[in-house]
Structure 1
Amino acid sequence: MIGTAMTVLASVAIIASGPILHELTHAAVARALGGSVIDIDLFDLYVDFEAPSAFRERLVLLAPGVIGLLLTPLVWVAWNALPLVFAGAVVIAWLLYCFNGGTHGELSILQTEPAR
């Protein structure tokens, strides 16, 4: 019983890490490209940033999708190395990391809103 509860909690934590890391990636890339981070809200899952140019803004918006797609081989290794519950959680987290865009210009599974 306790083992099952711990497995479920660990799986939820893995899945929740995807969207949080998505937003932190936006913030890190914005700073790395010379922009500034105005606000980060990890509960509502958004980052407000300013980029020095439209091109760099586009790079910041695409960063989680591009980085996530580059990490695909690691997700494949996790899928083959971990127990099925954890492997499934890693894949869901990876999907949320790559395609959790809420702003026009991000890679997104859902319809996106216009950019602010």
Structure 2
Amino acid sequence: MGKLRRRYNIKGRQQVAPGPSKGPPEPPPVRVELEDQGTLKGVDASNALVLPGKKKKKTRAPPLSKKEKKPLTKKQRKMLQRIRAEMLQKLSEVQVSEAEMRLFYTTSKLGTGDRMYRAKE
């Protein structure tokens, strides 16, 4: 919609692609030698050279160390032992018996042929 509207300063808005330049060839890059450092390369003689900064680098603060865990007290250790014993007892109550475990068949071997073509006993 906006492209159809006539705009002011049409010639000024047009972007012209740069044509081939027939100017003199570019001069070789400028090199500057410093006393305390090696050589620096510049763009050309007309542009300013970029010199190394004199600002000191900031050192980062070391990361905060994780708090070391304190050993459990006797009271906490006894409480933990009691909780572990209760959990193990509850797990043993709902655990499948060994006879039932033998009836199960692993699913990783399903369809491999070993169990598929076995004759019924």
Same fold (TM over 0.5): no
With the length of structure 1 as denominator, give the TM-score of the two structures. Answer: 0.22
Instruction: Write 1 or 2 for the structure with the bigger share of strand.
Output: 1
Structure number with greater Rg is: 2
Q: Higher relative contact order at CA 8 Å, sep ≥6: structure 1 or structure 2?
A: 1
Instruction: Write 1 or 2 for the structure with the bigger share of helix.
Output: 1
